[in-house]
Amino acid sequence: MYDKLPFSKHFILLFLFAFFVFFCSNDLKAQRFLGAVSLGMNLTQVDGDEFFGFHKVGLNVGPMVIVPLGKNRNWSVSMELLYSQKGSYHNGSTDSTEFRMNLDYAEVPVLVHFTDKKLISGGLGFSYGQLVNYKETKNNFYDSIFFYQTGLSNNDISVIADLQIRIWSKLWANIRYQYSMKSNRTVLVKDPSTYPRMEYTRYQYNNVISIRLTWVFNQEKIIKGPKKERNSDSY
């Protein structure tokens, strides 16, 4: 089954590029805004689809704008525009037990970070995601097990916990955990191992681990020794 939603991938890529160019402009640099871009992967599962494990791998890419706050600029607020691929994948012992769900989102995370010694940063926040493409592939075996009681939601609101470590110059390594705050779909499941079949309701949630690299374009380098006070940017 394949549903193509009104948004196209070409539109999302164009929007990402425009966002990136705007927030990395010299005018914003003069206002102490920081521009960045992240590239990495999502390891995902959909809780409530009867499968377990982060087996679905997807893309996580997009630009970011960062606003340092506070006297020492240890605090910051960031906003991103991501193309984020989520979903679920199960490869059973036979072809009849293969299942794949692709969920592609245009996503806007907003986080608050605290950065220690300009080397490690932890953050919490929320994200709004708009579903732009959806594809579900399953064998007939699942049609006798899964009965969708509600349609798939076109949006996803999730909570985020984020950890970043500065590994070189302006390059940060990032690991992020993200979980849906509301159910994306309700499914009635009939257990094939019982007779008569037992029925139970499952609520589906996106469950995501992201591993990324982030490059902060106009962030000053760490200056060692007595000159380090010249570096006023934190992230």
- Tell me the average confidence (pLDDT) per consecutive run of 10 residues in the chain, 235 residues long: 50 57 52 87 92 91 91 89 93 68 94 93 95 84 75 94 94 97 90 74 95 90 56 54
pTM for the whole structure:
0.81
Kindly report, residue by residue over 54-88, the tens digit of the pLDDT: 999 999 999 999 999 888 888 999 999 999 999 99
Would you say 221 and 180 are in contact if contact means Cβ atoms under 8 Å apart?
no
Largest CA distance in the chain: 77
What is the reported pLDDT for 225? 53
Nearest alpha-carbon partner for 206 in 105, 60, 78: 105
Kindly report, residue by residue over 205-235, the tens digit of the pLDDT: 999 999 999 999 887 766 665 554 445 455 6
What is the reported pLDDT for 71? 81
What is the reported pLDDT for 230? 47
Would you say 158 and 181 are in contact if contact means Cβ atoms under 8 Å apart?
yes
φ, ψ for residue 169 (rounded to 5)?
Answer: 50, -110
Burial environment of residue 10 by CB neighbours within 10 A (0 to 12, 13 to 18, 19 or more): exposed
Nearest alpha-carbon partner for 58 in 81, 87, 85, 38: 85
The answer to whether the Cα torsion of 123, 81, 134, 60 is positive or negative is negative
The domain made up of 2-22+33-230 is a member of CATH 2.40.160.20 = yes
Residue spans of the domains in the chain: they are 2-22+33-230
Would you say 136 and 98 are in contact if contact means Cβ atoms under 8 Å apart?
no
